[in-house]
């Protein structure tokens, strides 16, 4: 857990931020923040996801909590085991509340994910970021991350799963 007092020009006073493990009770906050990131979900959907993720030791979700006990940011990191490369850590989600951006909260969350990765004895951490998120790219570069490639993401839904023979 990390605690840091941040001076906030957009807030009335300085804001004390605590980075801790996320909890099921954070679901509403995480859901609202996910919507800011462009991934809307309900509180119940978030509860379902968190129950699966928080019980898996190859995943960690950290929450940035304000002195008022509001979650104003979160980061999700996991271990990626691949056939083609050594295991590595991947940041699969990071968001800070719009009004709290640019105040060091994202850096605190990244630091916590990096420490978690090192404790897992992983030597590389990576993340993916939408090409349109130019400010986020600058943030990552400032933290020492380098662009290594550009990809296309392909998705296929299984709406008709009941018609597919999976045996």
* Domain annotation for the chain: domains and CATH numbers: 2-163 (3.40.630.30)
| Alpha-carbon gap, residue 82 to 60, rounded angstroms | 19
What is the SS3 assignment for 42? coil
Q: Give 10's pLDDT tier (boundaries 50, 70, 90).
A: very low
* Model confidence pLDDT, tens digit, residues 23-74: 999 999 999 999 988 899 999 999 999 999 999 999 999 999 998 889 999 9
Per-residue confidence (pLDDT) for residue 2, from 0 to 100: 53
CB 18 within 8 Å of CB 64: yes
Residue with tokens 């978030």: 46
Per-residue confidence (pLDDT) for residue 153, from 0 to 100: 84
Which residues are 16's β-sheet partners?
5
pLDDT at 86 over 50: yes
More confident residue, 13 or 136: 136
Per-residue confidence (pLDDT) for residue 52, from 0 to 100: 96
Reported pTM: 0.84
């Amino acid at each position: 857990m990390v605690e840091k007092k941040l001076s906030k020009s957009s807030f009335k006073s300085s804001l004390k931020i605590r980075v801790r493990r996320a909890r099921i009770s954070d679901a509403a906050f995480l859901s609202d923040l996910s919507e800011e990131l462009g991934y809307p979900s309900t509180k119940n959907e978030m509860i379902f996801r968190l129950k699966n993720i928080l019980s898996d030791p190859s995943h960690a979700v950290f929450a940035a909590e304000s002195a008022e006990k509001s979650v104003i940011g979160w980061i999700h990191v996991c271990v990626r085991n691949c056939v083609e490369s050594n295991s590595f850590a991947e940041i699969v989600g990071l968001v800070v509340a719009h009004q709290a951006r640019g105040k060091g909260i994202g850096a605190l969350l990244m630091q916590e994910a990096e420490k978690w990765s090192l404790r897992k004895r992983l030597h590389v951490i990576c993340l993916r970021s939408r090409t349109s998120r130019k400010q986020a790219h600058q943030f990552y570069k400032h933290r020492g991350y380098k662009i290594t490639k550009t990809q296309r993401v392909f998705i296929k839904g299984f709406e008709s799963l009941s018609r597919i023979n999976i045996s």
